[in-house]
């Protein structure tokens, strides 16, 4: 599944389009449907567009499971996804992250490291694929669905990988929605002030939308702090992906007797992500550039959003309901465990150090 046609000459643009447009078009239709449905979701079930696109895609899997659609869907899941993740860097300003302070930054980093490790540990304890542990740990530690998709690019292919990705995306959204309701109450119970409660929300809730909902429901100060902390976690997507990729590279090399030192994978999209973070940070400090830079930035952020939406739609189209249903309670337990880990670690450190 999702194998791109490499025999096709690159210069033959017409052949490339003919091969890939059916899968891309189907993925785009699903993405558009999700974007139209998201604002119409009831308040009791506020599903974001990415989750809706995934669910629609899974429902249409019997239609998409044809050779006609596979090349275009593969292009979306691999190449388009990398471009979309790279463009996420334009959402981050390094000045805001610096303003958090060293102690807050270290708390967030430590909680993220422990969470990623707990994902691997739970996968081993539950006798699951190590790749699933990486997906669950990164999704919980960084930024939900986007981190899941980015991490999937460095996790080796294994049987059931697409179903695991789909499960993690749905699970982190469900847990984020639950956290959006519970964490503000929990923070008040343990006596956190508005700023520290914003740090807790930003450091522990998986998806950006739920961070915004939980933070600004309390106060503007809490909301602003929560969003900045969350964007710091998104910024750390680059090192998380690199370390996970290195781990799997080292693991693969270790299986070969007398193998040389493992080659650390350096995803180009991750480097571009970091470069765009720096460019955005510099441009935002230059008012003279605003009339030219802001329209470009707004456009590219929209491209990133649509790219992620089309990629996750393609992922859903390539995943069967039967594959997800076969995962069982162990998958759910692993993702719940990593969610509890990041909450407990971050909450304890905030209470002790801030």
Instruction: Identify the pLDDT of residue 5.
Output: 45
Rounded CA gap, 341 and 116, in Å?
10
Convert the pLDDT of each residue in 290-332 to its tens digit: 889 999 999 999 998 899 899 889 988 988 887 777 788 899 9
Instruction: Identify the pLDDT of residue 256.
Output: 52
Instruction: Identify the pLDDT of residue 116.
Output: 97
**CB count, 10 Å around CB of 159?**
9
Rounded CA gap, 244 and 253, in Å?
14
Instruction: Identify the pLDDT of residue 121.
Output: 97
Dmax (CA) for the chain in angstroms is 64
Rounded CA gap, 324 and 333, in Å?
15
Rounded CA gap, 241 and 247, in Å?
10
10-residue stretch averages of pLDDT, the chain, 354 residues long:
48 79 94 90 73 89 90 89 85 84 95 97 94 96 88 90 92 86 87 92 88 84 88 89 89 56 59 88 89 93 91 87 80 95 96 90
């Amino acid at each position: 599944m999702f194998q791109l046609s490499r025999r096709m000459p690159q210069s033959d643009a017409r052949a490339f389009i003919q091969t890939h447009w059916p899968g891309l078009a189907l993925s785009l239709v699903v993405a558009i449907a999700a974007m139209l449905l998201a604002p119409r979701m009831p308040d009791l079930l506020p599903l974001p567009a990415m989750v809706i696109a995934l669910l629609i895609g899974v429902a249409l899997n019997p239609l998409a499971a044809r050779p006609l659609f596979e090349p275009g869907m593969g292009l979306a899941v691999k190449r388009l996804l990398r471009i979309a993740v790279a463009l996420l860097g334009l959402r981050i300003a390094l000045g805001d992250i610096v303003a958090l302070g060293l102690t807050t930054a270290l708390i967030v980093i430590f909680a993220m490291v422990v969470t990623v490790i707990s994902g691997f540990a739970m996968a081993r304890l539950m006798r699951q694929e190590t790749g699933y542990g990486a997906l669950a740990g990164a999704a919980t530690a960084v930024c939900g669905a986007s981190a899941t998709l980015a991490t999937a690019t460095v996790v080796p292919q294994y049987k059931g990988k697409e179903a695991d990705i789909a499960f993690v995306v749905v699970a982190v959204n469900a847990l984020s929605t639950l956290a959006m309701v519970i964490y503000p109450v929990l923070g008040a119970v343990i006596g956190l002030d508005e700023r520290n409660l914003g740090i807790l929300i930003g450091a522990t809730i998986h998806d950006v939308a739920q961070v915004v909902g939980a933070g600004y429901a309390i106060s503007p100060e809490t909301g602003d702090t929560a969003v900045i902390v969350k964007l710091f976690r998104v910024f750390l997507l680059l090192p998380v992906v690199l370390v996970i990729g290195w781990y799997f590279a080292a693991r693969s090399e270790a299986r070969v007797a007398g193998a040389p030192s493992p080659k650390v994978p350096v995803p180009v999209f991750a480097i571009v992500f970091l470069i765009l973070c720096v460019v955005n940070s510099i441009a935002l400090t230059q008012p003279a550039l605003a009339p030219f830079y802001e329209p470009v930035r707004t456009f590219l952020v929209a491209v990133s959003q649509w790219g992620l939406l089309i990629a996750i739609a393609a992922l859903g189209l390539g995943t069967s309901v039967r594959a997800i249903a076969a995962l069982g309670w162990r998958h759910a337990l692993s993702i719940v465990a990593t969610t509890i880990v990041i909450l407990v670690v971050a909450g304890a450190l905030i209470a002790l150090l801030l």
